[in-house]
Amino acid sequence: MTGFEIHARQRAVSKELVDKFRRVPVANVSDCMSRMTAGGARLRPMHDGTPLAGPALTVRTRPGDNLLVHKALSLAQPGDVIVVDAGGDLTNAIIGEIMTTYAESRGIAGIIINGAIRDCGTIRRSAFPVYAAGVTHRGPYKDGPGEINCVVALDGMTIAPGDLILGDDDGLLAVPYEQAQAIFEAAAAKHDVETKMLADIAAGTLDTSWVDARLRALGCTGV
């Protein structure tokens, strides 16, 4: 039935590449993707802030229903990030303490809910990464429909199964599978540059001459 299907994931970013990305802040990766991609400001870390990285196992579900999310928990491989598009609706929670505890026990890297969660106090104290748009005590339904391993979009950020998902205190980012290696190389180089800038600030040697040069190039007078 269309809209009520479980698909097989065809590819996923490697563990080696996921581990490389862990040392790079999401902001550096975003800069190297032309600052055009984001999961939306509503999707915030609900846990203790531990960074998130792993290949996406995607779920699209009817708002307020988590039947397909339960199935995704059993299908996910260790290191996967379950990405749930529940329509952004905050009426009913999609997951809570039981499901996050089960996910962590299976080695899942984290869960993203474009919707609401509950048991937020427990989740807030946990290192298991959970991102969501809001909180409500009202529980979910378990009727479907939904899909697993389909393309989803969170606030315009398209995520295909197996794409790399990154998250930290600044928010979420999806890196396309085909571009992940090239984006890592660019982001790592940018991170190295910014690390040196911080060292220069500490030493009092930061060169800020580029500011005046930029102003003159843009025609600013009085520089």
CATH 3.50.30.40 for the 4-186 domain, yes or no:
yes
> Does 163 appear as a known binding residue?
no
Q: What is the pTM of this model?
A: 0.94
In whole angstroms, what is the distance from residue 37 CA to residue 40 CA? 9
> pLDDT tier at 3 (50, 70, 90 boundaries)?
confident
Confidence (pLDDT) at 1: 67
Helix (H) or strand (E) holding 73: helix 67-75
Residue 118 assigned as binding residue: yes
Say if residue 97 carries a ligand binding annotation. yes
Give me the residue spans of the domains in the chain: 4-186
119 is in an annotated binding site: yes
CB 180, CB 162: distance < 8 Å: no
Q: Is the pLDDT of residue 204 over 90?
A: yes
